[in-house]
Chain A
Amino acid sequence: MSNTNTTDISRRKFLGSAAAATGLTIIPGVMLYEVAQAKPDDMAVTSEVRWGMLIDTRKCSEGCDDCVTACNTENGLTGHDRPETDVQWIRKLKLTDKQTGHVTSLPLMCQHCENPPCVDVCPTGASMKREDGIVLVDRHICIGCRYCMMACPYKARSFAHEVVTDQKVHAPRGKGTVESCTMCVHRVDRDGIPACVEACTKEDHNAMLFGDLNDSNSEISKRLAEFGGKQIRADLGLNTGVRYQGI
Chain B
Amino acid sequence: MSVIEQIQKLKLLLAGLLITLPLSLQAGDVNLPQVPKAKANATEEHGCVTSVKDMRKNHMEYLLHQRDDTIRRGVRTKQYSLAECVECHVTEDTSGEVANFGEDKHFCSSCHNYVAVSIDCFQCHNDKPQGDGTMSSRDMPASHHNMAFNKHSETGATLDNQNSESGK
Residue numbers of A with Cβ under 8 A of B are: 36-37, 39-45, 128, 130-132, 136, 138-141, 164, 166-170, 172-177, 185-187, 189-190
> Residue B32 at the A interface, CB < 8 A?
no
Q: Within the complex, what minimum Cβ distance (angstroms) separates A178 from chain B?
A: 12
Q: Within the complex, what minimum Cβ distance (angstroms) separates A229 from chain B?
A: 25
SS of A interface (majority): loop
> Would B126 and A166 count as touching, CB distance under 8 A?
yes
Query: Given A140-B67, A170-B133, A187-B134, is A45 in contact with B125 using a C-beta cutoff of 8 Å?
Result: no
Nearest B residue to A182 via CB reads B71
> Would A41 and B67 count as touching, CB distance under 8 A?
no
28 contacting pairs across A/B (C-beta < 8 A): A41-B140, A42-B75, A42-B77, A44-B69, A44-B74, A130-B74, A131-B74, A138-B72, A139-B124, A140-B67, A140-B71, A166-B126, A167-B125, A167-B126, A169-B125, A169-B126, A169-B130, A170-B83, A170-B133, A170-B134, A174-B124, A175-B123, A176-B123, A177-B124, A185-B74, A189-B76, A190-B76, A190-B134
Q: Which residues of B contact A132 (CB under 8 A)?
A: 74
Nearest B residue to A124 via CB reads B4
Q: Which residues of B contact A176 (CB under 8 A)?
A: 123
Q: Which residues of A contact B76 (CB under 8 A)?
A: 41, 186, 189-190
> Would A169 and B77 count as touching, CB distance under 8 A?
no
Q: Which 5 A-B pairs have the closest CB atoms?
A: A169-B133, A174-B124, A45-B74, A44-B73, A174-B123
Query: Given A173-B124, A174-B124, is A41 in contact with B133 using a C-beta cutoff of 8 Å?
Result: no
Q: Within the complex, what minimum Cβ distance (angstroms) separates A78 from chain B?
A: 13
Q: Which residues of A contact B126 (CB under 8 A)?
A: 166-169, 172
> Residue B135 at the A interface, CB < 8 A?
yes
Which of A41, A172, A185 is within 8 Å of B144, CB to CB? A41
Q: Kindly state the separation between the CA atoms of A16 and B71 in the bound complex, as whole angstroms.
A: 26
Q: Kindly state the separation between the CA atoms of A190 and B133 in the bound complex, as whole angstroms.
A: 13
> Would A170 and B135 count as touching, CB distance under 8 A?
yes
Q: Kindly state the separation between the CA atoms of A168 and B68 in the bound complex, as whole angstroms.
A: 19
Q: Within the complex, what minimum Cβ distance (angstroms) separates A137 from chain B?
A: 9
